[in-house]
Amino acid sequence: MEEVRAAAAELNIVLEEKPGFLNLITDMLRPESLPAGWSASYDAASGRRRYEHASSQSVQWVHPLLDYYRGAAYMEAGGYRRMLAAESKIPPTDEE
């Protein structure tokens, strides 16, 4: 459960306050969620997830696709409804 909390923390989510995000976080924990060449492990000493890229030997402490998961969390939190409401007030132009 600590690894789940660590992944949630990357998204600034406290699971006890937003349990509806568990599916998204579970997806983020899957090895298949990482781009090719990346692996993840939980570092109990820091309480964080560690991401390593095999060929470049780079290490980082946030998911390589964190922006994607932040966008998914935004949509899960009602962002899609807000986007549709804003779009109905000011429809996109043909170029958009």
Q: Is residue 28, in this structure, part of any structural domain at all?
A: yes
Q: Among 24-28, 43-47, 84-88, which stretch is predicted with the lowest mean pLDDT?
A: 84-88
47 occurs within a structural domain? yes
* Residue 86 to residue 90: CA distance in whole angstroms: 6
Report the distance separating Cα 79 and Cα 73, nearest Å: 9
Domain assignment present for residue 93? The answer is no
> What's the whole-model pTM score?
0.75
User: pLDDT tens-digit profile of 1-44?
Assistant: 899 999 999 998 888 888 788 899 999 999 999 999 999 999 99
Domain presence at residue 96: no
Query: Residue 9 is encoded by which pair of tokens?
Result: 């923390």
Q: Per the structure, how many domains does the chain have?
A: 1
| Residue 58 belongs to some domain of the structure | yes
Whether residue 94 lies inside any domain: the answer is no
Radius of gyration, CA atoms only, the chain: 16
Determine, yes or no, domain membership for 42: yes
Domain, as residue range, for 57? 1-88
